[in-house]
């Protein structure tokens, strides 16, 4: 069976995420869009990609936190010593 590139991309996080975001406008909740995305995935690959919506949300959070730009580190405040006269 030959799959379209969009379906094959769903095997990676970014492809599944892109499919989910493309479906968000068609559903009332994020979870409903997730369920539709899982349904598409299951129809083509026979299994769910994630155990549940919470698992998907955790993966999204991890992915975006991992790829976020590094926050600048706080430097300790040092005061200059006064010169004795």
> What are the tens digits of pLDDT across the range 26-49?
999 999 999 999 999 999 999 999
Distance in angstroms (rounded) separating the CA atoms of residues 24 and 17: 11
pLDDT in tens, 39-85: 999 999 999 999 999 999 999 999 888 877 776 666 666 666 677 66
Side-chain half-sphere of 43: how many Cα atoms within 13 Å? 8
Residue 74: exposed, middle, or buried by beta-carbon count in 10 A (0-12, 13-18, 19+)? Answer: exposed
Structure tokens at 7: 């379906």
Helix extents (H) in 1-85: 5-9, 13-23, 30-45, 53-66
């Amino acid at each position: 069976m030959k799959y379209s590139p969009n379906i094959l991309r769903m095997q990676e996080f970014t492809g599944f995420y892109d499919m989910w975001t493309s479906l968000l406008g068609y559903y009332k909740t994020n979870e409903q869009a997730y369920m539709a995305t899982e349904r598409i995935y299951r129809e083509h690959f026979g299994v769910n990609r994630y155990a549940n919506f919470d698992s998907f949300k955790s993966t999204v959070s991890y992915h975006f936190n991992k790829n976020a730009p590094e926050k600048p580190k706080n430097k300790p405040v040092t005061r200059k010593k006064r010169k004795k006269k």
